[in-house]
Amino acid sequence: MPQLGFVLQWVVKAMAVILAITILNFFLIRLAPGDPAVVMAGEAGAADRHFLEQVRRDFGLDKPLVVQLGTYVKNVLTLDLGQSYRTGRPVTEMLFERLPATLLLTGTAYLFALIMGPLLGAVAAMRPRSLFDNILMVVALVFYATPIFWVGLLLILIFSVQLGWLPPFGMHNLIPVQGAVAYALDVLKHLILPAITLGLFYVAVYVRLTRASMLETASLDYVKTARAKGLPEWRVATAHILRTALIPIITFAGLQAGHLVGGAIVVETVFAWPGIGRLAFDALFQRDYNLLLGVFLISALMVVFFNMLTDLVLRIADPRIAGRS
C-alpha cells in the first residue's frame, strides 16, 4: 500500500526533526548568558543565597548538562515538556492553552491569502495589461515590500483609532461576553485586523505567483488546442490552466505555512493576540527555557505537518509527483 509508505515516510521525518530540534534547542539556550534561578527567585529571593540554591535544586538546574539533556529528550518523547520556570505550570498545558488562538489567527490568515491571492491573480491573468492588472501588480508589489508589523500599526490607526470600526487589541472584549454565538461574533470582530495584517503579505505573493503561473500555462500548446477547439474561455481557465498553474502555488503555500508562525509572533505582539507567539517572546526575556523549547518544538511540528499536507495535496492534484521526493 503506497499510502502506508507515505505515512511512514512522514512519521520518520517528523521524528527525526523533533529529535534534531530538541537537541539543537537544548544546547543553544544553555549557551546563553544568564541564570534562570536569579530570575525565578525574584527581587526578594534573589537577595538570599540559600534561596537561590533551593530554587536551583527544585528545578534541577544544578545537574550536569548531559543529564539534563537526557531527561529532556526522554520527557519530550513522553509528551512531558516540563514545567515553566516562571509560573511552575506544565509547559504542555500553557502551550495548548494558547495554541488555539495562534491556529485561529494563522489559519484564517492563511486561508484568506490562499483564496484572495489566486482569485485576484487569476482575474488579472485573464485580462493581462488591463488597468485592473496594472493596479493590482503595483499594489501587490507594495504589500510584498512592507513590513508586516507596520501594516498592522497602520490598520489599527486607520480602522480603529480614526474610524472606530474595529477593536484595536486582543482576541475578545476585555470582559468576555456571555453566550456562545455572541462570543464567536466578538472574536470574529477582533480577528479581522490581525488576520488581514498577517495575510496581506502572502496575498501579494500569491497574486503575482498565480498570474505568472497562469500566463505561462496559457501559452502552452495543449491550452491553445483547447481554445482552438472552441471551448469557452472560463472552461479553459478552470479546467486546464488553473489545474496546472496551481501546482507551484500549492508547493509554495506549503513551504510558507511553516513560516506563518514566525510572522504570527510579530502580529500577536502588535495586536496583543493571546497566542503562542507572544508567549514565546515573553518567555524569551525571562529565560523560561522549558517554555521556549516547547514553543520552538510546536512550531517545527507545525511546519512538518503543513509540509506533509502540501505533499498530500500535490499528489492528489498531480499523481506524477508521487514519484519525486
Partner 1 sequence: MPAIRTMGPIGRFLAVIFAIMLVSSGLVRAEPHRGGTLNSTLWPEPPGIVIGIHLNAPTLLPATKIFEGLLTYDFSLSPQPMLAESWEVSEDGLTYTFHLRRNVKWHDGEDFTADDVVYSLTEFIPAVHPRSRPTFERTVVTAPDDYTVVLTLKEPYGPLIRSFDAISAPIVPAHIYRGSDIRNNPANQAPIGTGPFKFSEWRSGEYIHLVRNEDYWLEGRPYLDEIYYRFIPDSASRALALETGQVQLATQNDIELVDIARLEALPNLEVTTKGWEWGAPISWLEMNIRREPFNDVRFRKAVMYALDREFIRDSIFFGLATIPTGPIHSSSPFYTDDVQTYEYNPEKAKALLDEMGLKPNADGVRTEIGLLGLPYGELWDRLSQYIRQALGEVGIQVTIETADVAGWGSRIANWDTDMSTTYLTTLSDPALGVARSYITENQQKGVLFTNTSGYSNPKVDSLFAEAAREPNEEKRREIYHEVQRIIADEVALAWLVELQWPTVYNSKLKNVVRNGLGPNDNFAEAYFEE
Partner 2 sequence: MPFLKRFAENWGAVAGLIVLGLIVMMAITASVIVPVDPMATQGRPLLPPGREFPFGTDMLGRDVLAGVVHGARISLMIGLVSTVIAALIGITIGAIAGFFGGWVDDALVRLTEFFQTIPSFIFAILLVAIMTPGLASIVTAIAVVTWPPIARLARSEFMSLRRREFVEAAVLSGVSRTRIIIFEVLPNALSPLIVMSSLMIATAILTESALSFLGLGDPNRISWGYMIGAARTVFRQAWWLSVFPGLAIAITVLAINLVGEGLNDALNPHLKGRVRVET
**From CA 127, how far away is CA 59, in angstroms rounded?**
64
CB atoms within 10 A of CB 141: 12
35 binds partner 1 (CB under 8 A): yes
* DSSP character string of 21-74: HHHHHHHHHHTSSS-HHHHHHHHHHTT-HHHHHHHHHHTTTTS-HHHHHHHHHH
Contact with partner 2 (CB under 8 A): which of 96, 132, 150, 165?
Answer: 150
Contact with partner 1 (CB under 8 A): which of 7, 28, 42, 243?
Answer: 42
Stretch of residues binding partner 2 (CB under 8 A), selected from 39-47, 67-75, 108-116, 300-308:
300-308
SS3 90: strand
Contact with partner 1 (CB under 8 A): which of 13, 63, 89, 235?
Answer: 89
Is-contact 241 118, C-beta < 8 A?
A: no
Please report how close the Cβ of residue 163 comes to partner 1 at its closest, in angstroms: 16
Helix 91-126 crosses helix 289-317 at what angle (to 10 degrees)? 40
75 binds partner 2 (CB under 8 A): no
Contact with partner 1 (CB under 8 A): which of 8, 24, 28, 47?
Answer: 47
Q: Give the CA distances from residue 133 to residues 140, 218, 249, in Å, rounded to whole numbers and listed in that order.
A: 10, 16, 19
According to DSSP, the residues that pair with 83 across neighbouring strands are 90
* One-letter amino acid for residue 62 of the chain: D
86 binds partner 1 (CB under 8 A): yes
Stretch of residues binding partner 1 (CB under 8 A), selected from 20-28, 181-189, 216-224, 271-279:
271-279
CA nearest to 13, candidates 318, 317, 315, 306: 306
Q: Give the CA distances from residue 10 to residues 296, 301, 321, in Å, rounded to whole numbers and listed in that order.
A: 19, 11, 16
Chosen from partner 2, partner 1, none, partner binding at 90 (C-beta under 5 to 8 Å by type): none
Contact with partner 2 (CB under 8 A): which of 52, 76, 237, 265?
Answer: 265
Please report how close the Cβ of residue 146 comes to partner 2 at its closest, in angstroms: 4
Chosen from partner 1, partner 2, none, partner binding at 282 (C-beta under 5 to 8 Å by type): partner 1
User: How many positions of this chain bind partner 2 (CB under 8 A)?
Assistant: 54
Chosen from partner 2, partner 1, none, partner binding at 89 (C-beta under 5 to 8 Å by type): partner 1
Contact with partner 2 (CB under 8 A): which of 6, 10, 51, 149?
Answer: 149
153 binds partner 2 (CB under 8 A): yes
Is-contact 108 195, C-beta < 8 A?
A: yes
Please identify, using beta-carbon distances, which residue of 6 and 169 lies nearer to partner 1: 169
Instruction: Look at the chain and count its residues.
Output: 325
Which cell numbers hold the place of 55? 530554587
**From CA 283, how far away is CA 293, in angstroms rounded?**
10
**From CA 114, how far away is CA 116, in angstroms rounded?**
6
Site residues for partner 2, 5-64, by CB under 8 A, read 17, 20-21, 25, 28-29, 31-33
Rg (Cα) of the chain, in Å, rounded?
24
Instruction: List interacting residues with partner 2 (CB under 8 A).
Output: 17, 20-21, 25, 28-29, 31-33, 141-142, 144-150, 153-154, 156-157, 161, 209, 212-213, 215-216, 248, 251-252, 255, 258-259, 261-263, 265-266, 269-270, 280-281, 284-285, 292, 295-296, 299-300, 302-304, 307
Instruction: List interacting residues with partner 1 (CB under 8 A).
Output: 32-36, 38-39, 41-49, 51-52, 86-89, 97-98, 168-170, 173-176, 272, 274, 278, 282, 284-287
